[in-house]
A and B are shown apart, each in its own frame.
Chain A
Amino acid sequence: MVTEIEREIDRSKMQVSDEVAIQITNMNKWYGAFHVLKDINLTVNRGERIVVCGPSGSGKSTLIRCINRLEVHQEGSIIVDGTELSSDLKNIDKIRSEVGMCFQHFNLFPHLTILENCTLAPIWVRNVPKKEAEETAMHFLEKVKIPEQADKYPGQLSGGQQQRVAIARSLCMKPRIMLFDEPTSALDPEMISEVLDTMIELAEEGMTMIVVTHEMGFARKVANRVIFMDAGQIVEENEPEQFFTNPQSERTQLFLSQILGH
């Protein structure tokens, strides 16, 4: 799965700061008796773009879903923006409003227009006045290049357009971190690149991003670190050039040969 990324990438703003955005320490998670995530340690600095890859069932989606507590971890700690995730609902809501998330199946709200999808959370969570929320929404819809669809319903848009709306919807909350859970897996090939383009633009503006994806072209060009997971563990972690040209573990080599072989 390599979608060629043709555009020049502007790396001037893509700088990693020393400030820690996410700190995961010795994190373990079980589904019943099944040990899904084993001793995960991961530090993400502000401005980092991290791609998480691995075979299905390796726990990569579960990992990023733990970061905004869509999944609950049982051991270890996750600290996002200095706030520790615990069962305290106030902390969870605070973190969720700072961390944007895009899903494989977009999960737009089908009963609301595109504009309403984008203004809902700012109005109800951040108490932004409606007019201001709409202006922000139009700004981000222009950024993802679909302002003309604002009054349509999600069901009337193509998959690629829906995913771009989903990105705009997250951005309207002005998040400091963006999580992407296989954002292009449900899309036709020609729509993948329009979504990747939007994500690259975000990266160019210095957004902290964690992306679960099989798009190795994106990983190579945009990520500053690639994480390979298998069987609930982080198997290999490296910068993209090293990761792709000189993978260390056998499991990674096998995975890369399968995914890049075609």
Chain B
Amino acid sequence: MSDQSYVRTEMLGEKPPPSSQVGVVKWVMENLFSSIPNAIMTIVSVWVVYYILSGILPWAFQSSWNATSLHGCRAYIAETYGEGVEGACWSVINERWKQLLFGFYPKELYWRPVVTLALMFVAISPVLFTSVPRKVMLFSVIYPFLAFWLLWGGSIWLPIVAFLGLVIAYLAIVYLPALVGSLGATIGAGVLPILFWIVIAGPIIDGLNGIAPIGIEGVDSDQMGGFMISIIIGVSGIALSLPIGILLALGRQSPLFIVKTICVGFIEFIRGVPLITLLFVASVLLNYFLPPGTNFDLILRVIIMVTFFAAAYMAEVIRGGLAALPKGQYEAADALGLDYWKATRLIIMPQALKISIPNIVSNFIGLFKDTTLVSIIGLLDPMGLARAIPADQNWNGIVWEIYVFIALLFWIFTFSMSRYSMYLERKLATGH
């Protein structure tokens, strides 16, 4: 045996790592003080955070909750925290939060928007989470009509008959292909319900109201306001703009010249116009075009305009997703004998939408926040109220508190959307 040969006779056990490799010390060294510039930036950042919080926190917490006017607030703060202390006057939120949430909706009927919101979460759950039983989807289909009835009240026959239009569209999709082919059925599913709503629905509703006047107390659009209106417009816009955007994106790629031209024209026109212009068109101009005497609800008009606007952007986002798909996916679907709609639904769209999730959600968030623009055409959404409330003599001069409250409300919704989109991306990752 030479001197260089070596045989290990016993294996070594594990030793604990040095303290620089574990726990808090390691994390701090790696993330905050890994180099001199890093250490300097850490110190500067800590100072900036301290500076901001030292301004905000005393203001937020040395505050008044129960005063009845801005004067009362100031007096209370001066008395409790000493002269010259600037404190928040949360009393205004305490007094007006119901108004910021519901506008001028009748107080005794607040339960209706609350129930509507709760049911909304039930209705969107099967869309958001695959673990929810598929049968809940049926409720999601009925929900928009139920929500309309709960919020606006009135006769129960209006939403029911309107829903029948959807049933007609469904029947057309299922039974017409055998008679007139799939293209005819698609057109039929679009045209028949519209004919039904315009021509037949009115007399039927009147008739049914005559026979059995069932309904709940009606609430007018101008009584609605606050965050409720943001949610109504935002959620309707989101729910409608995605399917319309998908159709526009597909139409833009269509080899059929007329379909393509209409889609490109629509997208480019709507994208070329500021949303605020469309909202003015909704509030003022539309009345000139509609036959005299038609009372076309302002919120409904705004929803339509917001939907158009969002759909045009959505179409471009989805077109990006479609463009990112390799041509081979279309070819493989074709080669297996799938027709256009099946290939689109089963192969193309699931992948294109998955690629576009971050952009789609970011558009949704933008749309939701853009709903605050409706305050400019006179709807009392939270931003409208933020200008209306200080006009009250008691709260004259109040600014920050209301905006902080509104920001918080919006942030809760948009942050949940953003977290959900991250969850969805993780869930759909299939390792390619």
Contact = CB atoms under 8 A, between A and B. Distances in A.
Interface of A: 68, 70, 89, 93-94, 96-97, 99-101, 103, 105-111, 120-121, 124-125, 153-156, 169-170, 173
Given A111-B350, A156-B431, A96 B335 contact: yes
Interface string B30-55: 00000000000000000000000000
B331 A103 contact: yes
Interface stretch (B12-20, B217-225, B339-347, B357-365): B339-347
B332 A155 contact: no
Contacts of A173: 336-337
22 contacts: A70-B331, A70-B334, A70-B335, A93-B337, A96-B335, A101-B332, A103-B328, A103-B332, A107-B332, A109-B333, A109-B347, A109-B351, A111-B430, A120-B338, A121-B336, A124-B342, A124-B346, A125-B337, A153-B430, A153-B431, A155-B431, A173-B336
Nearest to A166: B332
A97 B338 CA distance: 8
B336 A97 contact: yes
Interface centre among B333, B335, B430 (most CB of A within 10 A): B335
A159 to B, nearest CB: 13
B331 A107 contact: yes
Given A97-B337, A109-B347, A111-B351, A154 B332 contact: no
B432 to A, nearest CB: 3
A99 B342 CA distance: 18
A88 to B, nearest CB: 12
Classify the secondary structure of B's interface with A.
helix
Interface residues of B, number: 22
B146 to A, nearest CB: 33
A96 B431 CA distance: 30
B337 A109 contact: no
B338 A124 contact: yes
Given A103-B331, A111-B430, A153-B431, A89 B338 contact: no
Contacts of B331: 70, 103, 107
A106 B332 CA distance: 8
B23 to A, nearest CB: 35
B336 A125 contact: yes
Given A103-B331, A120-B346, A124-B346, A110 B336 contact: no
B426 to A, nearest CB: 14
Given A153-B430, A156-B431, A121 B338 contact: yes
Nearest to A123: B346
B334 A96 contact: yes
B301 interface: no
Contact of B337 (A96, A105, A108): A96
A168 B27 CA distance: 50
Contacts of B351: 109-111
B428 interface: yes
Given A107-B329, A109-B329, A68 B431 contact: no
